[in-house]
Amino acid sequence: MQDVAEQPSAIRWYYEGLGQNVFRAVSCRSCGKLTFPPTGCCEHCGSWEVEGVELSGEATLLYATHNITPACHPRFETIAPYVYGHLRLREGPIVQAIILGVEARPESLRALFERGPVPVKAETLTMEDLPVIAFRLAG
Beta-bridge mates of residue 49: none
- The length of the chain is 139
Q: What is d(CA 124, CA 130) in angstroms, rounded to the nearest whole number? A: 10
Nearer to another protein, 20 or 69 (CB): 69
User: Rounded CA gap, 28 and 136, in Å?
Assistant: 28
Q: In angstroms, give the least distance from the CB of 79 to another protein.
A: 9
Q: What angle do CA 17, 21, 25 make, to 5 degrees?
A: 45
Q: Shortest distance, CB of residue 67 to another protein, whole angstroms?
A: 4
Query: Residue 58 Cβ, how far from another protein at the closest point, in Å?
Result: 16
- Smallest distance, Å, CB 70 to another protein? 7
Which residue ranges make up the site for another protein (CB under 8 A)?
11, 36-37, 39, 43, 62-73, 75-76, 84-86, 88, 93-98, 106, 109-110, 113, 130, 132-133
Nearest to 2 by CA among 41, 60, 44, 58: 41
